[in-house]
Amino acid sequence: MGTENATETAGLAGERSKDGLGWMEWIRGWMAVIGEMMFQRIAASHLQNPLPLPPVNELTFVVTGSTSGIGLQIARQLAEAGAHVIMAVRNPKAAHDLIQKWQNEWSGMILPLNVEVMELDLLSLESVVRFAEAYNARLGPLHVLINNAGIFSIGEPQKFSKDGYEQHMQVNHLAPALLSVLLLPSLIRGSPSRIVNVNSVMHYVGFVDPEDMNVISGRKKYTSLLGYCGSKLAQVMFSSVLHKRLPAEAGISVLCVSPGVVYTNVARDLPRILQVGYRFIPYFIFDAQEGSRSTLFAATDPQVPEYCETLKADDWPVGAFISQDCRPTNPSEEAHNVETSYKVWEKTMELIGLPSDAVERLIEGNEVTCRYSMTD
Ligand SMILES: NC(=O)c1ccc[n+]([C@@H]2O[C@H](COP(=O)([O-])OP(=O)(O)OC[C@H]3O[C@@H](n4cnc5c(N)ncnc54)[C@H](OP(=O)(O)O)[C@@H]3O)[C@@H](O)[C@H]2O)c1
């Protein structure tokens, strides 16, 4: 056993750290992306639209980015199915206007929709802490956190948040990671509960250098594609480690989901000509309601917790990933790199201002202090 360990360690030390995907990985990654684009409708042809939901009327859901696209559909369908929905948004006025519209269109029913709004700007880690503190202070349960909000600033130059982080990395990975950890006390109260991350097939062509999550070292030339795909892969890796660190008794499932290729405001930054093209390929592209199905499935299907526990019991290297057709699938080859996943975990915890044992401490019922908290 000792020799085995020594050989293993020597092997790791001898390995050069990777500075990108290998050619074959890259080709297979793009084949997955193109495959999803071309064949998602065929793969998902067994699904109804909208997806019928199991009973959710006793459950509370937080949905980030629910003023537009996939998140809007998720929030509305959950509310219409009787759930208590909290729209966690950066533009509360837009959310209130939407609720008004939904209530008016719902007026034939006996009970009004149970939807409320809380402000959350993922470009500010302080805003994330404020949101989590306010939610946890209610001392109520949270059954499902849906980390949906995301950006893809196609073709734009590299931008940083006021916290100093590359914006795709912050909005798509760091801020949702902080939110997930800080909301653990409420998720424990709601157990069995779930964290569902709206990820992307684009993570198959993503690469993360844990020592350069801001892409500033110059080892790789920054493009918005690199920023987006890297942030989505970082989320898959972080989720796999979070899933492993949560003991089965906590009853919290962690999943990533691909919504498919969906016509939403995410295309708002595309060049005009591409936006026109985007609109003319409806056969291939899902509408937002179709794109909400895999997330709603991950958030509500009764078999999901058991599936997540099986992966944990089998010591599978990655957490659950649900594809756009609501079937479990394997995330990318790079996502299976356990050593890098743990480095991404450590680096993420450092960047979001939490101690690396924050999850264990919160599970034991202790408090943790975040560097971005204003109350210290
Ligand atoms: N559409 C696709 O083909 C596709 C494919 C794969 C994955 N996804 C993922 O699906 C998720 C939803 O995207 P979508 O396609 O529905 O795009 P969308 O229509 O642009 O919606 C994105 C939502 O995120 C919110 N948001 C953006 N920045 C935020 C911030 N700093 N703080 C709080 N909220 C913020 C937006 O708020 P505002 O309304 O205020 O702008 C909006 O509500 C994203 O994670 C995206 O990466 C989409």
Which residues are CB-contacts of 227 (< 8 A; sequence separation ≥ 6)?
A: 153, 158, 166, 167, 168, 169, 215
Which two structure tokens, joined as six digits, stand for 111?
């009970």
Mean pLDDT of 271-276: 68
Average model confidence (pLDDT) across the chain:
92
Which two structure tokens, joined as six digits, stand for 9?
């360690």
| pTM score, whole prediction | 0.94
> What are the angstrom distances between the C-alpha of 362 and each of 74, 252, 354, 357?
29, 13, 11, 9
Does 196 contact ligand 1 (Cβ within 6 A)?
Answer: no
Q: Are 205 and 21 in contact (CB under 8 A)?
A: yes
Predicted local distance difference test score (pLDDT) of residue 314: 87
For 115-152, the pLDDT digits (tens) are 999 999 999 999 999 999 999 999 999 999 999 999 99
**Closest approach atom of ligand 1 to CA 121:** 32
Which two structure tokens, joined as six digits, stand for 182?
């800080």
For 275-331, the pLDDT digits (tens) are 776 666 667 899 999 999 999 999 999 999 999 999 998 889 999 999 999 999 999
Does 230 contact ligand 1 (Cβ within 6 A)?
Answer: no
The residue contributing the CA closest to ligand 1 atom 2 is 262
Give me ligand 1 centre to Cα 100, in Å: 21
Beta bridge partners of 61: 85, 144
pLDDT band per the 50, 70, 90 thresholds, residue 5: very low
Between strands 193-198 and 144-147, the pairing is parallel
Predicted local distance difference test score (pLDDT) of residue 8: 35
Predicted local distance difference test score (pLDDT) of residue 128: 98
The more confidently predicted of residues 185 and 315 is 185
Predicted local distance difference test score (pLDDT) of residue 284: 84
For 84-114, the pLDDT digits (tens) are 999 999 999 999 999 999 999 987 567 899 9
> What are the angstrom distances between the C-alpha of 359 and each of 182, 236, 244, 250, 364?
9, 17, 11, 11, 9
The residue contributing the CA closest to ligand 1 atom 44 is 150
In whole angstroms, what separates CA 327 from the centre of its chain? 17
The catalytic residue positions are 228
Which two structure tokens, joined as six digits, stand for 276?
């026109």
- CA end-to-end distance (rounded Å), the chain: 47
Cα–Cα distance measured from residue 138 to residue 122, given in angstroms and rounded to the nearest whole number: 21
Question: Could you give the domains of the chain?
Answer: 20-363 (3.40.50.720)
Cα–Cα distance measured from residue 290 to residue 168, given in angstroms and rounded to the nearest whole number: 24
